[in-house]
Structures are given as C-alpha cells and as structure tokens.
Structure 1
C-alpha cells in the first residue's frame, strides 16, 4: 500500500519560506483562513496563533504550499497531494541538509532558472560538474540547500 506524505521543513519564518517556495515551484500558498475561523469560534485557538497577510488569516508558526493541480480540502484549505509544510522551530539551521529538493527545469533552462531564483531570494552556493551530469547548488532564504538541474 502506498503512503501519503508531505515534506516538512523546520525554519524560523514559515511565511517567508512558503512565499519563496510557492514562487520557486509554481505552487500555491495554502489558504487556511476557514479552518482558523472555525477553530477561533470553537475556542480551540487564540488571537496569538494567527496573523493576517493579504487580508487572510494565516498561522504564525505554520505555512504550506501545494501543487495547484492537486485536490484541496475545502473545509481546511489543506492540500491533499504534493505539498511542503514549513514549521517554526526555535533553533537555527546547523550544518548541511541531509535531505534536499532537486528542481528539474529542463534542457537549456538552468541558467535562466538560477537567475530567477536568485531574484526571489535564493543564493548560489556552488556549481557542480560531475561525470554524468551537472547542477547548481543553491540555498533558500534560510539557507536550506537545493539543487537546480
């Protein structure tokens, strides 16, 4: 039996990373405002648990992005397919990632994509030329490494 999954990224600013990765991947930032309203009404969360961005209530410590073609739970705004969840943690990133995302942008598109990602907040860490392939290792705004192939 196959297992459903999401990739969870520990970070210090979930809202910033969700915006970055939504732009980087062409994904959509999840809209959890209906869920937040329902939980507020039930007294399950308080005003310190959310903030307002672009007129919508968003979690302070969690933000997710989802593939635009995947289904969404209308009651919560949660994606039911490919998604990344960013959660705030108190400690800063230490050392190299043990897991990273590879972006496959297609033949001849890598340099343009690296420029675009740099414009939205990524940094080039190094270029790798190896037997069998090459890629550019980059870092998102919080230093999480990813490769562009």
Structure 2
C-alpha cells in the first residue's frame, strides 16, 4: 500500500477569497494561476452560475512543500472552538524573551492583516510560550 505524500487543509468559511488571501499573507503562500482558458480568477468566477460564484478559493506554498489550503463557503457560521488548528511556527528553537519578542512582532503583523489576538500562553515547565489568535473569520490558530 502506498503512503500518502500530499494533503490539503480545507477551511469552511463565509468568504473564501478573503480568508484565503489572509492566509497567503500569513504563510507566504500564493494564489495559483486561474483554470486553463481564463486570464484571471475574476473571469473564471463570472463564468460560474450565480449561486456558485465566490464559493471556493485556494492558495498554495510556492515551494510546493506545504499543503494546499482550500477555502469553501458554507451557510452556517462558526459555532464552537476548532477541533483542528494550525500552528504558525515563527519561534522554533527560540526560548524566553527572544522567543516572546519574535512572537509579539509576528502577532502585531497579523493583527494589522485582520487577525485577533486571543491570549498569550506563557511558558511553563513543559512548553514554551505561544500566542493564541483568530483569523479574519474567527478560526483559532497559534503562533508557536
């Protein structure tokens, strides 16, 4: 049996393109080229039935290493805490005040993009500090 080498992370959301573009900025991802026969995503979107316009959007790691992120419109809003979340690893290998400074700087950048800072989880005997945040639609993620 062959092992799976690639996977996609899918987000349910109200505004797929808005959320996708936020995560492009967070992760340095890019919007892939539009489907064959279309010069822009807007032209592709206009070709769809009205009810399907804006129903999904995607972004990809330009290096091809990270997973593709797919955003799909759903009718219901977020009702509870995520059961799965992303850890944005900006402080790997850093400890103490140096780690906190890096986390705080990235937190400030992401807040300017529309993220919300939820709380700092201070270092303890088992874990280094991290900052719990929410994306532009309230999905939790951690700066780690």
Query: TM-score, normalised to structure 2's length?
Result: 0.78
After superposition, residues 1-149 of structure 1 pair within 5 angstroms as 1-3=2-4, 4-34=6-36, 46-48=48-50, 49-50=52-53, 60-70=54-64, 82-106=67-91, 107=94, 108=98, 109-131=102-124, 132-149=127-144
Q: Could you list the runs of 4 or more consecutive aligned residues of structure 1 that deviate by over 6 angstroms after TM superposition?
A: none
Match of 1:75 in 2: none
SS of 1:63's partner is: strand
Shift of 1:122: 0.2
Q: Which 5+ residue runs of structure 1 have no aligned equivalent?
A: 38-44, 51-59, 72-80
> CA–CA distance in 1 between the matches of 2:89 and 2:21?
20
Query: TM-score, normalised to structure 1's length?
Result: 0.75
Q: Which 5+ residue runs of structure 2 have no aligned equivalent?
A: 40-46
Shift of 1:23: 0.1
Judge conservation of contact 1:30–1:63 (CA < 8 Å) in 2.
Answer: no
SS of 2:122's partner is: strand
Judge conservation of contact 1:61–1:87 (CA < 8 Å) in 2.
Answer: yes
> CA–CA distance in 1 between the matches of 2:31 and 2:83?
25
Over the aligned positions, Cα root-mean-square deviation in angstroms equals 2.0
